[in-house]
Amino acid sequence: MRALLAGIADDLQAYAQLQELLHEQFRASLRHKASELQAAAEGIGTLVDAMQQRRSDRVALVQRLVGETGNMAQAFALLKNAAREKMEADWASLETAVLECKRLSKRNGDLLAEQYTIMQRVLHGEEQIYAPA
């Protein structure tokens, strides 16, 4: 159970770092700074790999604690009131952080895709200058 709690705490810190890296990626995209984009992408990749490993570990821990089909709610139920409330609050914070990172990632992806589309138009011209009547 301690490993489960520690993993959630580590992920809370990691998601805060991921949010900052996603902001850095966005700023670098706006300024067209390739080296900063590369550094942000590497940092994001490293951080996401570590979080993915912790998620896999968390799934395995929950399965050991409450069975193959176990879930976090069942693992929380094993704790006493104060510890359960803390873990549930941390889990809710983690879910909020995940949603925010997904939003930031989509924003960044949309910006990069739009920049790519504009660059393609600049380099290769419009496919059709006039829309068919």
Q: Which residue has the tokens 């896999």?
A: 56
pLDDT of residue 55: 95
Both tokens assigned to 38: 């590369």
Task: Please give the full DSSP string across 48-94, using - where no structure is assigned.
Answer: HHHHHHHHHHHHHHHHHHH-TT--HHHHHHTS-HHHHHHHHHHHHHH
Which CATH number applies to 2-124: 1.20.58.300, 3.40.630.30, 3.40.1160.10, 1.10.1040.20?
1.20.58.300
Torsion angle of C-alpha atoms 67, 69, 70, 72, degrees rounded to 10? 160
The per-residue pLDDT string of the chain (133 residues; one tens digit each, 9 = 90 and over) reads 899 999 999 999 999 999 999 999 999 999 999 999 999 999 999 999 999 999 999 999 999 999 999 999 999 999 999 999 999 999 999 999 999 999 999 999 999 999 998 888 888 876 665 666 6
Both tokens assigned to 92: 């809710």
Model pTM?
A: 0.85
pLDDT of residue 129: 59
